[in-house]
Amino acid sequence: MVIAERRCHDGKKASADAFQPKTPSGKKKAQMFIITTIFLIGLVFSVQQLMFQYTALDLSAPFRENNIYVLQNTKNIINTTIRSTHDCTDFIAKMKELKDFLDRRIPRGGYSLSLGYTLNCSYWSNSPPQTAPLNLTIYIIGKNVETSSKVYLYHQ
Query: pLDDT tens across 46-73, in order?
Result: 998 888 777 666 656 666 667 787 788 8
Assign 138 a pLDDT band (cuts: 50, 70, 90).
confident
By residue range, what is the domain housing residue 79?
Answer: 62-153
Whether residues 75 and 117 share a domain: the answer is: yes
114 domain-assigned: yes
Q: Over 80: is that where the pLDDT of 83 sits?
A: yes
The count of structural domains within the chain is 2
71 domain-assigned: yes
Q: Could you please report the per-residue DSSP string of 3-65?
A: -PPPB-TTSPBPPGGGGSPP---HHHHHHHHHHHHHHHHHHHHHHHHHHHHH----TTHHHHH
pLDDT at 72: 85
6 domain-assigned: no
Query: pLDDT tens across 87-122, in order?
Result: 888 888 888 888 887 777 765 556 777 888 888 888
pLDDT at 102: 76
